[in-house]
Amino acid sequence: MLTAKQHELLHFIHDRLSATGVSPSFDEMREALDLKSKSGVHRLISALEERQFIRRLPNRARALEVLKMPEIAAPAVAAAAMATRLAVPVAANDTVEIPLHGRIAAGTPIEALQGTEAFAVPAALLGPGEHYALEVSGDSMVEEGILDGDYALIRKVDSARDGEIVVALIDNEEATLKTYRREGQMIRLDPANRSYEPQRYEEGRVTIQGRLSGLIRRY
């Protein structure tokens, strides 16, 4: 029998894989389950592995496969899962509309994004907070599984921690999608493609406009 948190995490991974085909990151799992650290996520993943509900795919970063789902939830587990779903809709067939703010470069910074359209997103992909979507242009984040033409789901925040993928606005003019790093008084924006070099800026030139929370890929 799974604990409430194990059950919640299994459904979160299953819903994300069903909607996008991409496993959620450990940071996304930590936020979705309201855990204080990623070590709690690692313990839950290991427990689900031991019970053969999921497995890690070899030689692929962040790759998980759901092997089975619990057929009947225990009353306490079901109640906890229902409480989560009341707070944030996660049914795979539910959608919400968020703003779509044009295209953002995943290679070289482009002009600041303009315009707003409505973009329908499976509610299971969105955690707490305000979100918007961007269409990815470029290939510099391919090693993080972010491809040209993908739709990046961005949670609005104005700060970032090392290692987070963010929307960074440079000089209030150009926006880019990169991994955030701090180097003393400088900000380094790292691509995930060996063909590209990191970008370094003075701290005052960079404004954080959001953090990546999910991806949608259309075929």
What pLDDT does 1 receive? Answer: 62
pLDDT at residue 113 greater than cutoff 60: no
Which range among 46-55, 94-103, 108-117, 192-201 shows the weakest confidence by mean pLDDT?
108-117
pLDDT tens digit sequence for 42-72: 888 888 888 888 888 776 556 788 888 875 4
Indicate the average pLDDT of the chain. Answer: 80
Higher-pLDDT residue of 7 and 196 is 196
Query: What mean pLDDT do residues 117-126 have?
Result: 81
Higher-pLDDT residue of 78 and 3 is 3
Query: What mean pLDDT do residues 200-219 have?
Result: 90
pLDDT at residue 91 greater than cutoff 50: no
pTM to 2 decimal places: 0.57
Higher-pLDDT residue of 191 and 93 is 191
Q: Which of 5, 23, 25, 178 is catalytic?
A: 178
Query: What mean pLDDT do residues 126-143 have?
Result: 87
Delimit the domains of the chain by residue range. Answer: 4-87, 95-216
pLDDT at residue 93 greater than cutoff 60: no
What pLDDT does 168 receive? Answer: 93
What pLDDT does 204 receive? Answer: 93
Q: Which of 23, 25, 140, 213 is catalytic?
A: 140
Domain 4-87 belongs in CATH node 1.10.10.10: yes
Q: Environment class of residue 114 by beta-carbon count within 10 Å: exposed (0-12), middle (13-18) or buried (19+)?
A: exposed
What pLDDT does 60 receive? Answer: 59
156 is catalytic: no
pLDDT at residue 24 greater than cutoff 60: yes
What pLDDT does 191 receive? Answer: 93
One fold for both 4-87 and 95-216? Answer: no
Higher-pLDDT residue of 148 and 88 is 148
Query: Quick one: CATH architecture of 95-216?
Result: Ribbon (2.10)
140 is catalytic: yes
Percent of the chain clearing pLDDT 70 (strictly above): 81
What pLDDT does 79 receive? Answer: 38
